Amino acid sequence: MYFKEVFLNNFRNYEEAHVSFDEKINIFLGENAQGKTNLLESLYIMGLGKSFRTNKDSDMIGFEKDFARIRTVLCDPAEADTEKEIEILYQKEGKIIRVQGIKLERSMDLLEEVYIVVFSPEDLRIIKEGPENRRRFLDRELCQLKPIYYSTLGQYKRVLKQRNALLRIQRRDDSLLGTYDEALSEYGLRLTREREHFVERLQEISSQIHYTISEGKEKLEVRYEGDFLRGAKKDKKTQTEDVLSLLKKNREKDYSRGYTSVGPHKDDLAISVNGTDIRQFGSQGQQRTAALAMKLAEIQLIRQETGKNAILLLDDVLSELDEGRQTFLIEAMKEVQVFITATGIEEEILRRLPEGKVFDIHSGHVKRLT
């Protein structure tokens, strides 16, 4: 699948815009705050139904406007160039998603249409920053690959919220807490199993990529660290029992802190190179290589799992990489549709990129340059 074109109405700083894309490489140049990331955001939303920057749908509506619309046409070369039209309408009351004119009941149904990998400077920092960034990375990828994960995650978060609310009120209610514990262990174990499985596959692919980028000098290891994990390999009944007793063991602590101290919402990815934890002790170069390797592994994983090519969004990231790492990224672009934004791209990099279209973005207006 690739994006053929997009139409924007009152979306962020775009009043009205129409862009026809290249099947492969699309480069958007422009000064700061002109709308480059906004354009990538509109494409990401078409794949996942929500933004990669915020959970607030109302932010998508242009200032002082009362609706926003994104419409896009996707083309599938694997199926005789069949075209598919997706439209999202944001209004104050909520959003409506239509695929081929038919309204989707649940936005998670959109997840099966398109696969998108976004890579921004924040992703380069995923190794050294806090665990919540690594959890977000896992959740984002798994939501795309497994729509069921998306609903389990929602269920888990709902129970967690209820449990935390109960821990904070003055009067203890151990029996209600016990009910929440059961739900939390069920959804939490499902999340844990999916995450662990995903990380095993990610580890295989990303360590190979990392090994190649580091010219055979570094062995990357990515492992899932989870509170519920100790139980995850046993039979289901024992797993549940283990998790329930873990929750019980932490009950007094949870009551005094007013929140749930164990569970997938606290988990992390352990990332090491040649045995050293690079979250804390990695050089900047190692951290960047590992982040790049994990991103590139995502593209391969999506292809293996779904048989489809992901669409790659590179927001301001090329100029942050040195030449060697750029080369790897450029190599990975050959088979997928890519959208690149930059305030300026050096001639030398442009020459190494495959042919495509170059656009200029200026205050919400997109103009084709070449």
Ligand X SMILES: Nc1ncnc2c1ncn2[C@@H]1O[C@H](COP(=O)(O)OP(=O)(O)OP(=O)(O)O)[C@@H](O)[C@H]1O
Q: Which two tokens stand for residue 118?
A: 């976004």
> Measured between alpha carbons, how far is 221 from 282 in angstroms, rounded to an integer?
13
13 binds, among ligand X, Mg ion, none (CB under 5 to 8 A by kind): ligand X
The residue whose Cβ lies closest to Mg ion is 37
Residue 320 binds ligand X, judged by CB under 6 A: no
Q: Are strands 276-277 and 365-368 parallel, antiparallel or unpaired?
A: unpaired
Q: Are strands 268-273 and 220-225 parallel, antiparallel or unpaired?
A: antiparallel
Name beta bridge partners: 340. Answer: 27, 314
Min CB(14)–Mg ion separation in Å? 14
Min CB(117)–ligand X separation in Å? 18
Greatest alpha-carbon pair distance for the chain in Å reads 68
Query: Is the distance from CB of 133 to CB of 328 less than 8 angstroms?
Result: no
Q: Which is nearer to Mg ion, 203 or 341 (CB)?
A: 341
Min CB(336)–Mg ion separation in Å? 21
Q: Which is nearer to ligand X, 36 or 325 (CB)?
A: 36
Query: Is the distance from CB of 268 to CB of 229 less than 8 angstroms?
Result: no
> Measured between alpha carbons, how far is 346 from 340 in angstroms, rounded to an integer?
13
Among positions 37-56, residues that touch ligand X (CB under 6 A) are 37-38
Region binding ligand X by CB under 6 A among candidate stretches 28-36, 82-90, 192-200, 280-288:
28-36
Torsion of Cα atoms, 314 then 41 then 112 then 310, to 10°:
-10
Match 């398109």 to its residue by tokens: 114
Min CB(124)–Mg ion separation in Å? 14
55 binds, among Mg ion, ligand X, none (CB under 5 to 8 A by kind): none
Q: How far, rounded to the nearest angstrom, does the alpha carbon of residue 9 sit from its chain's CA centroid?
A: 25
In terms of residues, how long is the chain? Answer: 370
Residue 8 binds ligand X, judged by CB under 6 A: no
9 binds, among Mg ion, ligand X, none (CB under 5 to 8 A by kind): none
Size of the site for ligand X (CB under 6 A): 16
Residue 343 binds ligand X, judged by CB under 6 A: yes
Q: Which is nearer to Mg ion, 35 or 226 (CB)?
A: 35
Residue 264 binds ligand X, judged by CB under 6 A: no
Min CB(42)–ligand X separation in Å? 10
Min CB(37)–Mg ion separation in Å? 3
> Measured between alpha carbons, how far is 243 from 229 in angstroms, rounded to an integer?
9
32 binds, among ligand X, Mg ion, none (CB under 5 to 8 A by kind): ligand X
Query: Is the distance from CB of 326 to CB of 345 less than 8 angstroms?
Result: no
**Which residues of this chain interact with ligand X, rule CB under 6 A?**
12-13, 30, 32-38, 59, 61-63, 316, 343
